[in-house]
Structure 1
Amino acid sequence: MSWDRFALLHARVEAELAKALQRGHGLGLSEYRALGRLATVPGGCMRMQELAEAVGLNQSSVTRLVARLEEAGMTRRDLCSDDRRGVYSVITDEGRARLAGATPTYERSLAAALEQAGVDPDLTPLVLAVRGS
């Protein structure tokens, strides 16, 4: 029963985040998360498999995701300077700028989605747990 409530909360929040990022910044939620992960790692680069695991996608999905990000100029493929064994996805200055512009929208939308979900008595305990209250 509690897993079903968690799944419901997750679905509601994800839907709100996806709508807000797409509407406000032309970014999908997975694109935003990929940029966020790339921005936090040393050198701004990750192997494709690492990126797939970090954002919860399979290999073919992350390949399509990275292709979209590259086409938009937000990432590029490269050899990472500290490990030349594989192809990496590297965040660009444009990607960092898009991430920075979208982050306030993401944070506001997350807070609003949790606030809205917290009104549902079945979800209130989960929302409190997520917020650390």
Structure 2
Amino acid sequence: MASLDDDAWTGVVRLHARVEHELAAALQRRHGLGLSEYRALCHLSTAPDGELRMQELADLLGLNQSSVTRLVGRLEAAGFTRRDLCPDDRRGVYTVITDAGRTRKQEASGTYEGTLTAALDRAATVTGLGGLVAAVRDGARVSS
């Protein structure tokens, strides 16, 4: 028999998977961006000087070093970021958002926010997820 914690966690995982799938599909379809790419642009756009060390970006995105290297390679190929060496430590590599990256992030923000709201609204009607959606939204209001 599953514990209450297991049931709760299973619900969180279901909600997360459902919403992430909708976000990823909308961003790819409308803006040619993967969800991790969009989130990388978000982090870079709010970072001081629009730059982060590769390891910092990996930590923020919950990715390992090789995954973030591939992601940054895709962003660079699209012209949304560029790499820069750390002036104090030549082994340190920064990823810097470009003007094109800021523009694409801004264009995609409305899609992301609208899709997120719609996905949560739909999930709220699914048996077992409505309470979780309410808890997520209430938690966001309290922490704001």
* Same fold, judged at TM 0.5 (above): yes
**Shift in Å, 1:79:** 2.9
Alignment partner for residue 34 of structure 1, among 37, 40, 58? 40
Unaligned 5+ residue runs, structure 2? Answer: 1-6
Paired with 1:84 and 1:90, the residues of 2 have a C-alpha distance of 17
Unaligned 5+ residue runs, structure 1? Answer: none
Give the partner amino acid of 1:26. G
Aligned pairs for 1:72-91 within 5 A: 72-79=78-85, 84-85=88-89, 86-91=92-97
**Shift in Å, 1:59:** 0.5
Residue aligning to 2:67: 61
Specify the structure having the higher radius of gyration (Cα).
2
Residue aligning to 1:113: 119
Residue aligning to 1:11: 17
Paired with 1:11 and 1:84, the residues of 2 have a C-alpha distance of 41
Q: Which runs of 4+ in 1 moved over 4 A?
A: none
Give the partner amino acid of 2:43. R
Q: Is 49-58 or 98-107 further displaced after alignment?
A: 49-58
Give the partner amino acid of 2:31. H
- TM-score, length-normalised on structure 1? 0.95
